[in-house]
Amino acid sequence: MATLQVFDKPMCCSTGICGPTVDPVLPRFAADLAWLKDQGVAVERYNLAQQPQAFVAHPDVTDAIRENHEHALPLVRVDGHIVCKGVYPAREMLAAWCGVSQSKPLTVAEPTGGSCCGSTGCC
């Protein structure tokens, strides 16, 4: 399965809801990352204010910041390749980059008794 890395701007927390103004994209993006984890994607998220070494450890990330300054963040990498800079991508894009299907398989409930109504025989 894919590994997705997110390099965030300096923030107090990953949800962004602890500051004076809330960016509505941040809670949605946090939910999308949780969904990706549930699908088996390895998700790593780094905050420049709290984990600067993670940024320095990836030369392509530091190059992007050097070239685009704060406009490079957030930056998203999948399997070591930059796929997005400057915006938080939608779930559809994250799923496509990570090779995850968004469709849920249909399940058919099996009757529990001898009729379509189960064991009650009400129909």
In a domain, 16, yes or no: yes
In a domain, 105, yes or no: no
Residue 76 and residue 35 in contact, taking contact as beta carbons nearer than 8 Å: no
Q: pTM for this structure?
A: 0.79
Please give the residue that has the higher pLDDT: either 16 or 115: 16
Q: Tell me which amino acid residue 28 is.
A: R
Confidence check: pLDDT of 86 > 80: yes
Domain extent at residue 85: 3-98
Confidence check: pLDDT of 14 > 90: no
In a domain, 27, yes or no: yes
Encoding tokens for residue 64? 């992007």
In a domain, 85, yes or no: yes
In a domain, 122, yes or no: no
Residue 3 CA to residue 46 CA, distance in Å, equals 14
Q: What mean pLDDT is predicted for residues 100-111?
A: 62
In a domain, 29, yes or no: yes
Please give the residue that has the higher pLDDT: either 75 or 113: 75
| Average pLDDT of the chain, as a whole number | 86
In a domain, 120, yes or no: no
Domain count, the chain: 1
> What confidence category does residue 24 fall into, taking pLDDT thresholds of 50, 70 and 90?
confident
Percent above pLDDT 70 for the chain: 77
Please tell me whether residue 85 adopts helix, strand or coil conformation. Answer: strand
In a domain, 24, yes or no: yes
CATH of the domain at 15: 3.40.30.10
